């Protein structure tokens, strides 16, 4: 996120506190963008469920649930962000208390997004499965979504084991490609009609 590093400084809660106080507008813009992500993710989960439920109810339900969990996890980050802003401007907390709480909230935000990678990946797998099994969209679109979902899962586990290499972001590249491909394909072509009854 563009605004996140402008507010939070890793392992420097004092600098972060200063940013939250003097760059409050940037902090709140970051919060607003996160709220937008929560809303769009929740709506996307519901919309994809509606789109695919008549094709494969079980997979569509799984997709909808895991997609909604995405938005819930991001909401935890948003709550932490809002709390950090309030704490920074609190007149009742001592300076050391502010530093400790802001560092804690920063860690929560960081790890919520990190662990959230599980569900960022999980919801793509049933989406890809529906595409592959129904053959009503390009089969390689479905495979790309599945690979991307698996990449998110693998990246999350590797990062939780302590490896923070920037190259790990390559594991989620198929997810980005698949999501963009899905959006563009639906906007241009939609879903192919079911031809199984015609055979």
- What are the domain boundaries of the chain? 1-115, 117-192
Is the CB of residue 63 less than 8 Å from the CB of residue 44? no
Residue 8 has pLDDT above 60, yes or no: yes
Return the DSSP state at 172: G
The predicted structure's pLDDT at residue 194:
78
Q: Which long-range contacts (CB under 8 A, 24 or more apart) does 182-188 make?
A: 182/127, 182/137, 182/141, 182/145, 185/137, 185/138, 185/141
- Local confidence band at 102 (pLDDT 50, 70, 90 cut-offs): very high
The predicted structure's pLDDT at residue 192:
84
The predicted structure's pLDDT at residue 197:
54
pTM over 0.85: yes
Lowest-confidence segment of 104-108, 109-113, 125-129, 160-164 by average pLDDT = 160-164
More confidently predicted of 197 and 173? 173
Residue 121 has pLDDT above 60, yes or no: yes
Please give the mean pLDDT across all residues of the chain: 94
The predicted structure's pLDDT at residue 166:
85
Over residues 37-60, the mean pLDDT reads: 96
The predicted structure's pLDDT at residue 173:
96
The predicted structure's pLDDT at residue 11:
85
Over residues 121-138, the mean pLDDT reads: 96
- State whether the Cα torsion 166-168-171-172 is positive or negative: negative
The predicted structure's pLDDT at residue 199:
45
Over residues 84-103, the mean pLDDT reads: 95
The predicted structure's pLDDT at residue 2:
80
Is the CB of residue 138 less than 8 Å from the CB of residue 186? no
Over residues 136-143, the mean pLDDT reads: 96
């Amino acid at each position: 996120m563009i605004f996140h590093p402008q507010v939070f400084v890793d392992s420097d809660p004092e600098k972060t506190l200063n940013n939250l106080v003097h760059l409050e507008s940037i902090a709140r813009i970051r919060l607003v963008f996160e709220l937008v992500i929560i809303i769009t993710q929740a709506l996307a989960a519901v919309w994809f469920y509606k789109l695919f439920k008549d094709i494969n109810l079980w997979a569509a339900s799984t997709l909808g649930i895991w997609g909604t969990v995405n938005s819930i996890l991001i909401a935890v980050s948003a709550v932490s962000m809002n709390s950090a802003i309030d704490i920074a401007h609190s007149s009742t907390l001592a300076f050391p208390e502010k530093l400790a709480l802001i560092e804690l909230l920063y860690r929560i935000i960081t790890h919520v997004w990190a662990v959230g990678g599980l569900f960022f990946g999980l919801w793509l797998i049933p989406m890809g499965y529906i595409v592959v099994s129904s053959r009503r969209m390009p089969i390689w679109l479905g495979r790309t979504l599945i690979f991307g979902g698996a990449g998110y899962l693998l990246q999350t586990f590797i990062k939780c084991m302590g490896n923070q290499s920037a190259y790990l972001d390559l594991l989620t590249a198929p997810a980005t490609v698949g999501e963009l491909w899905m959006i563009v394909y639906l906007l241009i072509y939609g879903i192919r009609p079911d031809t199984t009854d015609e055979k």
